[in-house]
Amino acid sequence: MQSVVITVTSGKGGVGKTTCSANVGCALALLQKKVIVMDGDIGLRNLDIVMGLENRIVYDAVDVIEGRCRLRQALIRDKRAPELYLLPTAQTRDKSAINPQQMVQLCDELRKDFDFILIDSPAGIEQGFHTCLAPANRVLIVTNPEVSSVRDADRVIGLVESQEKGPAHLVINRLVMSRVKRQEMLSVDDIIEVLSTEVIGIVPEDENILMSTNRGTPVALNGRSPAALAFHDIARRLTGEDVPLNTQQPTSFLQRLFGRG
Amino acid sequence: MNAFKNLFKGRNSADEAKQRLRFVLIHDRAEIPPGVLDLIKDDIIAVISRRLPIDRNSVTVNIDVVGEENRLLVDIPLLADSRRKVDGQRRKS
């Protein structure tokens, strides 16, 4: 299988890029894919703590690029899935520590060993974002059903297309169906209409997410919570499986059990 | 009810979050990656166990902030045999 580099980005901060990267990575790994999730946010790393692997870091991606260690030494194996690895980034450096060309080289090296390389991009449209975009084969744009993040998503979609990295795929995160029904939140269809971009996943608001980040155990690893199911659906779509998108209602485990999913 | 829950689930997740944050911030501020401590621990175990019987599985190596300073705190439990020996010597003297 040809390996795929997927960059997860958003424009606006705090919409769930890191949660999405961690969980989609876990879900892909549970589908028996060889997966590496890479933290692209130099100086503000968080993927390690969200995944609960923070106490195992010795080397990071900047150490690899600057020749202080071999690539293999910087990879952290997540034993909770068959083939899941984290490549952390440096916490005490800044965006200029890795340039786009170096990022492409690093990913080319990783392509030899992995099916999926997920890059958790920093928020914004500055250098760090462009560095993470450079090696991408596919781009996931995370947005919330809320005006500022949708607007920023549109800006990022434009940039992705202008770099010929499109078409971008949207992940609509933290949707609250009851509020959509009360017409006090943008619906999936509203967002699709406004952005005219394909949606690859709809992740419902889920209180389990906070508890899972508290503990460093991504919901997709063992949970059947609504968000976990949504992340598993995204992973299956990324592997090419045709999983219908339910734009009306986020599916729960029980609904699926009874064939309504 | 909370205590009942905790009995089954262990520590609540907010406590766990706080403890993980405290740990990671100490390391961020000291600019020492956490995994380095595990390597140091292995080194210490190798050196000390050449001279003394120690309980390898209970050795801890942590960074802690004491006042304004970062300190490396190493705790190495000696094995029961050696403890008895030390006690015995003390009694004689």
With CA atoms as reference, report the closest residue to A25 among A1, A54, A5, A45. A5
- Distance between CA atoms of residues A99 and A236, nearest Å: 31
pLDDT tens profile A23-35: 999 999 999 999 9
Averaged pLDDT score across all residues of chain A: 94
Between these two residues, B70 and A66, which has the higher pLDDT value? A66
pLDDT at B9 over 70: no
- Test B34 with A56 for CB contact under 8 angstroms: yes
Task: Report pLDDT for A75.
Answer: 98
Same domain, B25 and B36: no
- Is the domain of B80 the same as that of B51? yes
Reported as a single tens digit per residue, the pLDDT across A97-121 is 999 999 999 999 999 999 999 999 9
**pLDDT for A225:** 94
Domain count, chain B: 2
Residues B40 and B66 in one domain: yes
pLDDT band at A20 (very low <50, low <70, confident <90, very high): very high
Q: What does the buried/exposed string (b/e) look like for A6-37 if buried means 16 or more CB atoms within 10 Å of the residue's CB?
A: bbbbbbbeebbbbbbbbbbbbbbbbbebbbbb
pLDDT of residue B11: 77
pTM for this prediction: 0.88
pLDDT band at A223 (very low <50, low <70, confident <90, very high): confident
Identity of the residue in A49, A60, A214 whose CB atom sits nearest the CB atom of B24: A49
Are B5 and B50 contained in the same domain? no
Give the contacts of A58 (CB within 8 A, at least 6 positions apart).
A73, A74, B33, B35, B36, B38, B39
Same domain, residue pair B36 and B25: no
- Min Cα distance B89 → chain A (Å) is 40
Chain B hits for A49, Cβ within 8 Å? 20-21, 24
- Strands A76-77 and A84-87, sheet pairing: antiparallel
Place of tokens 């990656």: B33
What is the token pair recorded at A85? 């690895």
Domain containing residue B57: 32-93
Residues of A in contact with B39 (CB under 8 A): 58
Mark whether B26 and B40 lie in a shared domain.
no
Is residue B38 located within the same domain as residue B82? yes
Predicted confidence at residue A149, as pLDDT, reads: 97
Which pLDDT score, from 0 to 100, does residue A253 have? 56
For residue B67, the model assigns a pLDDT of 85
The pLDDT tens digits of the residues spanning B28-45 come to: 999 999 999 999 999 999
- Which of A226, A235, A188, A219 is CA-nearest to residue A205? A226
Give how far B88 is from chain A: nearest CA, Å.
40
Contact in structure between B1 and B7 (CB atoms under 8 Å): no
Contact A92 B13 (CB under 8 A): no
Token readout for A156 is 């990022």
| Percent of the residues in chain A that have a pLDDT greater than 90, as a whole number | 91
And the tokens for A71?
């690539």
What pLDDT does A1 receive?
67
Q: Which residues neighbour B61 within 8 Å (Cβ) at sequence distance 6 or greater?
A: B37, B38, B40, B41, B44, B72, B73, B74, B75
Asked if residue A177 has pLDDT above 60, the reply is: yes
Both B2 and B36 in one domain: the answer is: no
Residue pLDDT, tens place only, A47-88: 999 999 999 999 999 999 999 999 999 999 999 999 999 999
Domains of chain A: 4-257 (3.40.50.300)
Say whether A56 and B35 touch across the interface (CB within 8 A). Answer: yes
B86 and B71, same structural domain? yes
d(CA B49, CA B58): 13
Which residue from A minimizes the CA distance to B14? A214
Q: Which two tokens stand for residue B70?
A: 């970062």
Q: What is the pLDDT of residue B66?
A: 84
Q: How many CB atoms lie within 10 A of CB A185?
A: 18
Pick from A177, A131, A174, A178: nearest CA to A150: A174
What whole-number percentage of chain A has pLDDT above 70? 94
> Contact A54/B24 with Cβ under 8 angstroms?
yes
Distance from CA of A121 to the nearest CA of B (A): 20
A132: enclosing H helix or E strand? helix A127-133
Mean pLDDT score, A180-208: 96
Residues of B whose CB is below 8 A from A44: none
B42 and B26 both lie in a single domain: no
Question: Which of A41, A54, A62, A211 should one mutate to test binding to chain B, selecting the residue with the greatest count of B CBs within 10 A?
Answer: A54
Q: Which one-letter amino acid corresponds to residue A216?
A: G
**B residues 28..57 contacting A (CB < 8 A):** 28, 31, 33-36, 38-39
* pLDDT for the residue A257: 58
Rounded to an integer, what distance in angstroms lies between the CA atom of residue B26 and that of residue B71?
11
The pLDDT, as a whole number, for residue A104 is: 98
Chain A residues near residue B13 by CB distance under 8 angstroms: 210-211, 214-215
DSSP states along B4-70 = HHHHHH-S-HHHHHHHHHHHHHHHHHHT--THHHHHHHHHHHHHHTTTS-B-GGG-EEEEEEETTEE
The residue type of A90 is A
Q: What is the ipTM of this complex?
A: 0.85
Rounded distance between C-alpha atoms, residue A246 and residue A178, angstroms: 15
Counted across chains A and B, CB pairs separated by less than 8 A come out at: 42
Per the prediction, chain B carries an average pLDDT of: 83
The answer to whether the CB atoms of A56 and B38 lie below 8 A apart is yes
B42/B61 Cα distance (integer angstroms)? 10
pLDDT at A255 over 70: no
From B2, B83, B74, B69, select the one nearest B38 (Cα to Cα): B74
Residues B66 and B24 in one domain: no
- Structure confidence at residue A248 as a pLDDT band (50, 70, 90): low
Do B61 and B93 lie in a common domain?
yes
